[in-house]
Amino acid sequence: MAATPALNFARDVVAAGGDRPALVELTRDGQRREWALDEVDHASGGLAGTLVAHGVGRGDVVLTLVGNRPEWVITMVACFRLGAVVLPAPSSCALVTCACAWRWPVPP
């Protein structure tokens, strides 16, 4: 029996989605903004490149302090592209608090 290929959400859903809707955002000023799958694909590809440039790779944990907004979805998809693990933290959590709890260095 042949093995079933693993689903890669970034490749199989987001990148293949084209201009189909991905997200609907209500901006802080009350405007409605729709994000297409190809927009999420493009933005997450750029962020994935930045993460790689900073040494993030498969199996690395990426702590997110973004909150419930489109940028969080883009960050998740960027991590999925790399095989990195997304660790969401509440947006009320200060970076210093999270860094101390995890014993990570705080960026300057």
Average of per-residue pLDDT across 19-37: 89
Q: Give the domain 9-102 fold.
A: Rossmann fold (3.40.50)
User: Which two structure tokens, joined as six digits, stand for 95?
Assistant: 């970076």
What the block records as the tokens of 90 is: 């509440």
The answer to whether 84 and 51 have CB atoms below 8 angstroms apart is yes
Q: Which two tokens stand for residue 17?
A: 């989605």
State the pLDDT confidence band at 100, using cuts at 50, 70 and 90. Answer: low
Under DSSP, the state recorded for 69 is S
Report helix, strand and coil shares of the chain as percent, to nearest 5. 40, 20, 40
pLDDT in tens, 52-93: 999 999 999 888 877 778 898 999 999 999 999 998 877 666
Q: Answer whether 39's CB lies under 8 Å from 66's CB.
A: no
- Report the C-alpha gap between 82 and 59 in whole angstroms: 8
pLDDT above 70 covers a percentage of the chain that reads 77
Is the pLDDT higher at 104 or at 73? Answer: 73
pTM (2 d.p.): 0.76
Q: Name the residue ranges covered by the structural domains of the chain.
A: 9-102
